[in-house]
Structure 1
Amino acid sequence: MRPIRRNFGRDRAYYRIVDDLFGFIPHNVELYKLALIHKSASLVLEDGRAINNERLEYLGDAVIEAVTSDYLFIEYPDRDEGFMTQLRSKIVSRQSLNALAVNLGLDVHVISNGGTGITQKHIYGDAFEAMMGAVYLDQGYEFVNRLLINNIYFRFLNLEELTESESDFKSRLIEWSQKNRHQVEFRTEHDKEYASNHPVFYCTVLVDGMEVGHGAGDSKKEAEQRAAFSVSQYMSDEQCASLLDKVDRLEGTRSGSGF
């Protein structure tokens, strides 16, 4: 059945793509065909509905996060939740998934229209998420778990390199704010809901008075690092520009009000 599906029939090109990328022949090839269609190249049905890979991307995002959580829980039996959360965030970040997609060769198969502007930066990572959503629906969770860990992470992820990568997110955020002439503030206090023998700190990051990140930790330093890290995950190029636009509008309103 494998050679027949791969080499014959109208969908043989898609069977070959999945087989070459992931090493198996799918049951429902339509899922993988859909996973390759970026919203910029959406297909419009007779009833006017546009179909693309966004729904599969949504599902794949959740699947990848669950598998990655399993993976790190087993790989690091002695590390705390904070360490695993930060490492997982690095693995499932848009930049990381985009790089995985390119390393796999998935990028050459993505169907899209448009240029290479900001909105196009992570379409390969989005397609990778959609593909993992398709694998989950087609083959089940245990299969996608083994595929992602044994066939993809094992080949393309360097956990040691990731764990040793830059982790002083607070300093990076302060440096960014100084460079762009914005005021950053860390408001850190005890979380009163936790027991006195286990103090927990909660931090809110504000840029020019706007809340942009939150974090909690067993120490003030840890809470502030996690809050700064949450900002680094939130602020893509596009979101950063949007934030600065909001700040500019807020400053304009203050000026107009006489403050």
Structure 2
Amino acid sequence: MILRFLRDNLKRLLGRRPKEPLSLLVELLGFEPQDRALYDLAFRHSSMSRTDETGFKLNNERLEFLGDSVLATAMSHYLYLEHPHWDEGELSKHRGAMVKRAVNNAVALRMGLDRFLQIRRDVRQGSSDIYGNTLEALIGAIFLDRGYLRAEAFVLERVLPLFLELERSLMDQTMNYKSLLLEWTQKHRLSLDFRMLQEPKRSGVPFVCGVFVDDKRIGLGRGLNKKEAHQDAAHKALLALCRADEAVARELGINPALLESSQS
């Protein structure tokens, strides 16, 4: 509080007044809200719930539920128009990656939603998912305040560009290579086996895992634990399969270039 007071007074001395909360919100949204109470609610975490006259707790959880559906619909519409030759499976995979919690959290932080969030300090430090939840609640508030078209425009103009910018760095957080590899082998009725080739007894030595498809090793991965080694091995195996046959990437609905760029 003291630091904020000193900072604001310094800005006044320099001839720059600190921005008012409404101007910050307008800057974030790209338009002026009609019902500010909805946005106050969108940024109110359950740890800071208010109680109405009936005793009902008011926080952003219901708006989060609503915004989650609006976000999924807007992203579905975008993918449907942008990729007319993708089938239902490819559309679903890409939408799932775009609305995953890790993506929403990173996008929300890049947007600066943490500046608006009303939350207890101890709760803020406990989970990063609160930011993705807040983004969904904000989208729900826009939907109720200005309707679906405005909410969709916010997603496409403000959220989507940040996702595309962060896509490469978020690749490892949003894609489960092991699950994708399992899906592909099951589809083609091939056997899949993860074999630990090195399990160190001392720290600092990596775990090493081999991926075998029909008893042929196609990937070798390393990690600080078995789970990381499995995931890295599956990543290397998928990379090898995509390099050998471009149809594999199309089947799984993944971008080979991003798979290459996320290689460790």
Task: State the TM bucket, normalised to the shorter chain.
Answer: 0.5 to 0.7
Which residue matches 2:79? 72
| Cα 1:162/1:89, change in 2 over 3 Å | farther
Which residue matches 2:240? none
* Gap regions ≥5 residues in structure 2: 1-18, 183-192, 200-247, 254-264
Q: Which residue identity does 2:99 align to in structure 1?
A: V
Q: Match for 1:169 among 173, 178, 185?
A: 178
Shift of 1:101: 0.6
Give matches, 1:1-259, under 5 Å.
13-115=20-122, 120-158=127-165, 161=168, 166=175, 168-170=177-179
| Cα 1:34/1:64, change in 2 over 3 Å | same
Kept in 2, the 8 Å contact 1:87–1:162? The answer is no
Kept in 2, the 8 Å contact 1:14–1:32? The answer is no
Q: 1:41, 1:153 → 2: CA distance?
A: 29
Kept in 1, the 8 Å contact 2:102–2:170? The answer is no
SS in 2 for 1:115: helix
Q: 2:170, 2:114 → 1: CA distance?
A: 27
Determine what percentage of the aligned residue pairs are the same residue.
33
Q: 2:180, 2:85 → 1: CA distance?
A: 27
Q: 2:166, 2:111 → 1: CA distance?
A: 18
Give per-residue Cα distances to partners, 1:182-234, cap 9 Å, x unaligned: xxxxxxxxxxxxxxxxxxxxxxxxxxxxxxxxxxxxxxx99xx89xxxxxxxx
Kept in 2, the 8 Å contact 1:36–1:109? The answer is yes
Kept in 2, the 8 Å contact 1:14–1:29? The answer is no
Give per-residue Cα distances to partners, 1:143-184, cap 9 Å, x unaligned: 111221123212442497499764533378887xxx9xxxxx
Q: Which residue identity does 1:85 align to in structure 2?
A: S
* Gap regions ≥5 residues in structure 1: 1-11, 180-220, 227-259
Query: Could you tell me the TM-score, scaled by structure 2's length?
Result: 0.56
Kept in 2, the 8 Å contact 1:34–1:53? The answer is yes
CA RMSD of aligned residues (A): 3.4
The number of residue pairs the alignment matches comes to: 171
Query: Could you tell me the TM-score, scaled by structure 1's length?
Result: 0.57
Q: 2:38, 2:108 → 1: CA distance?
A: 17
Shift of 1:99: 0.7
Give per-residue Cα distances to partners, 1:71-103, cap 9 Å, x unaligned: 111111111111111111111111111111100
Larger Rg: 2
